[in-house]
Structure 1
Amino acid sequence: MLRASSVKQFAIFMIRKFNNVHTCSIDYRRNAHRHTTSSVIAKQIIGKLDNLYGSYDPTAIARDMEREFGVKISYHQARRGKVVALYMLHGRPAFGASIWGYLHYMRPIFCVDGSHLKGPYKSTLLLATAQDVIKQIYPLAWGIVDAEMNRSWMWFLSNLKDLIGDSDELVFVSDRKNSIENVIAHLFPWAHHGCCVWHMEKNLIQRYNNISSIFLFKRAARTYRTEEFERLMGQFHRVSATTYRYLEQAGLPFWSRALFVGQWYNILTNNNEESLNSMLRHARLLPITCLVEHIRHTMQKWFYERRASATACSTVLSPTMENELRTTFEAGTRL
């Protein structure tokens, strides 16, 4: 037995008690043995799990550990060891990594949208995405439902809320579907909800198709300053009072960066969702199980590649953002 403690104000420790006579018999080894951790068990059984057609249940694992090493472990210890061994063999699924990465590294803003599955499988794929540090699409959550209805979005966003919670820093970006707006208001009372500027622009084109109005809307939606926004909206009212009333009824803070309550950053549109929908245009013809497997495979590939890139990064920020910051700084010195 060895007992030691640290010495205050020094980076050393002092041995307080030491007994170098070992008297414990092998019979004393039992399931409370502190060194029989799940990782130790996993390393001992990993060779027996590398067979997709065999069955190796926790009871057999506990029996083998006692026979080979004289250590008794519980059923739950054996099960945890098996889980760790399977992770060592096949890796962890990317879905959990996606949520973990969002909670630790992402800005609290993401887009939500739905897309219809094609072919004979008439369902809807619901998506929630964020954006990583080099402005790449960061898939956060997926769900397949019958259709885009209140109860479908309630189920999807309820599960999402269990993982990310609610706060006044959280921002949603979506199109103007009433089902999304109703559920966000109910589940995330502290969060802020903004409209995809591209969808608003498309609605204006379909309803009014006034080139001058579209131009003024794009400038007004993206400006940062309240004074500039009010000046542009004054011009907008003179060009088309009807279109102005339509935007006013939609809610000016709903689509204006200058008036929006919360941090919208650079994510003013649902382009991330549209890009994912485009990427999945062929996979959406597949049966649902095949579609889910395709999504899983794609996500794990992305996460592996991005982890390798991040490991090789030697700068404080990503190289892309370092270059962008340097360019912005150089431009700012001349202001």
Structure 2
Amino acid sequence: MEGGNYWTVQKFKEDYSCTIDDLHNCHRQASAWLAGEILSPKLVVSDRSLKPNEIMDDKQVTKTLRVKGLVEQNIFGLPDLSYQLLHAYCHELKRANHGIVTTIKKDADKKFEYLFIAFNASLVGFQTAISLAICIDATHLKGRFGGVIFIAACEDANNQVFPLAYGWGDAECEDSWTWFLKELKKAIGCPTNCIIISDRSPAIKVAMTKEYPEIPDDLCGFHMNMNLKNKFKSHVLYNLFHDSFKGTSTNRVLGKDLQRIIGLQEVTHYKYIIHSRQLQSSASSSSQYLL
């Protein structure tokens, strides 16, 4: 404006006239830190995870991954600090949930190793109204420090998954499974007529022998069916075995279905199934939970 320190835009053209030839190797670009600061508020509002391809628009993948990491760091903090808050987290859980069971185990260097959590509502429900068939499994984490999440679950009267307990560990090995089952035994004891269903990995076998030698460790029908499919490459056997367990409630019915497998002239299949943890003896009490 005339006589002043202000000016106004009279005309604006949206056409971009600069070409890529004007750029050079030292051309200044937005850093991953700046992009992370800009995208953090959007992620908080949308309440969802951020994928690299949602950020990337003719940008390097490495920078995109750095941006993603910085966005998550700005929102959730450093993973190292999260582990330092575990004791405070468990304290708040106990303060808000009466009767909850929480246990943290550290290694020789006083660093986090295992965590076990079981809510009181789950423990009471298991003792009063939940079927005594416990399914245990673990899944791997993809964070900076890796590790696994352990889970123990049952089935309620509505045929819905009923979480019983869960925990964290460094790896799915004999020591971690033994510790998890030991804490689970402290929380629920050793109920009579109880069975534990798993994929029967070598680590679980050893842990069950140490902590629950008196409870049958049965093989999950889904895992067994996949093992049959991978071992014998037979879709006919896969479908036949699946149908034999769908709705099976007695040894007599299961025996007839296994005889049909023998009718395929595949005695090896029959021996493999029978060898898998005395399948017939467990079918009468747990077949409805195996698939």
TM-score, structure 2 normalization: 0.55
Matched position secondary structure for 1:266: helix
Sort the Cα spacing of 1:172 and 1:109 in 2 relative to 1 into closer, same or farther, 3 A: same
User: Which consecutive residues of structure 1, in runs of 5 or more, have no partner in the other structure?
Assistant: 1-82, 270-335
Q: How does 1:156-235 map to 2 (within 5 A)?
A: 156-222=180-246, 223-235=248-260
Are residues 1:141 and 2:165 paired? Answer: yes
Are residues 1:248 and 2:274 paired? Answer: yes
> What is the CA deviation profile of residues 190-212 of structure 1, one whole-angstrom value per residue up to 9, with x for unaligned ones?
32221110111111122222122
Higher RCO (C-alpha under 8 Å, 6+ residues apart): 1
Runs of 4+ in 1 over 4 A off after TM superposition: 90-94
1:121 to 145, 167, 181: 145
CA distance in 2, matches of 1:208, 1:268: 21
1:106 to 130, 133, 155: 130
Offset of residue 148 of structure 1: 1.1
Paired AA for residue 242 in structure 1: T
More divergent stretch after superposition (226-235 vs 112-121): 226-235
State whether residues 138 and 151 of structure 2, in contact with CA within 8 Å, keep that contact through their aligned partners in structure 1.
yes
Sort the Cα spacing of 1:261 and 1:193 in 2 relative to 1 into closer, same or farther, 3 A: farther
Paired AA for residue 163 in structure 1: A
CA distance in 2, matches of 1:91, 1:154: 26
Q: How does 1:68-79 map to 2 (within 5 A)?
A: none
Q: Give the equivalent residue in structure 2 for 1:80.
A: none
Q: Give the equivalent residue in structure 1 for 2:282.
A: 260
State whether residues 168 and 190 of structure 1, in contact with CA within 8 Å, keep that contact through their aligned partners in structure 2.
no
> What is the CA deviation profile of residues 70-117 of structure 1, one whole-angstrom value per residue up to 9, with x for unaligned ones?
xxxxxxxxxxxxx9xx95xx5656822222222222222111000000
Matched position secondary structure for 1:194: strand
Offset of residue 268 of structure 1: 1.3
Offset of residue 265 of structure 1: 6.2
TM-score, structure 1 normalization: 0.48
State whether residues 167 and 190 of structure 1, in contact with CA within 8 Å, keep that contact through their aligned partners in structure 2.
no
Q: Give the equivalent residue in structure 2 for 1:56.
A: none
Matched position secondary structure for 2:205: helix
Paired AA for residue 213 in structure 2: P
Sort the Cα spacing of 1:178 and 1:230 in 2 relative to 1 into closer, same or farther, 3 A: same
1:152 to 176, 197, 205: 176
> What is the CA deviation profile of residues 17-66 of structure 1, one whole-angstrom value per residue up to 9, with x for unaligned ones?
xxxxxxxxxxxxxxxxxxxxxxxxxxxxxxxxxxxxxxxxxxxxxxxxxx
Offset of residue 170 of structure 1: 1.1
> What is the CA deviation profile of residues 251-295 of structure 1, one whole-angstrom value per residue up to 9, with x for unaligned ones?
342xx4xx31773263114xxxxxxxxxxxxxxxxxxxxxxxxxx
Sort the Cα spacing of 1:171 and 1:121 in 2 relative to 1 into closer, same or farther, 3 A: same
Paired AA for residue 103 in structure 1: Q
CA distance in 2, matches of 1:252, 1:198: 16
CA distance in 2, matches of 1:102, 1:167: 10
CA distance in 2, matches of 1:106, 1:166: 15
Sort the Cα spacing of 1:95 and 1:265 in 2 relative to 1 into closer, same or farther, 3 A: same
1:238 to 260, 263, 266: 263
Paired AA for residue 250 in structure 1: S
Paired AA for residue 267 in structure 1: Y
Matched position secondary structure for 2:218: strand
CA distance in 1, matches of 2:153, 2:220: 14
Paired AA for residue 114 in structure 1: A
Q: How does 1:32-47 map to 2 (within 5 A)?
A: none
Matched position secondary structure for 1:233: helix
CA distance in 2, matches of 1:236, 1:262: 19
Sort the Cα spacing of 1:199 and 1:115 in 2 relative to 1 into closer, same or farther, 3 A: same
Q: Give the equivalent residue in structure 1 for 2:154.
A: 130
Offset of residue 237 of structure 1: 2.1
Sort the Cα spacing of 1:234 and 1:97 in 2 relative to 1 into closer, same or farther, 3 A: closer
Paired AA for residue 132 in structure 1: D
Q: Give the equivalent residue in structure 2 for 1:297.
A: none
Matched position secondary structure for 2:154: strand
Sort the Cα spacing of 1:230 and 1:137 in 2 relative to 1 into closer, same or farther, 3 A: closer
CA distance in 1, matches of 2:125, 2:249: 29
Offset of residue 123 of structure 1: 0.2
CA distance in 1, matches of 2:282, 2:217: 9
After superposition, the CA RMSD in angstroms is: 2.5
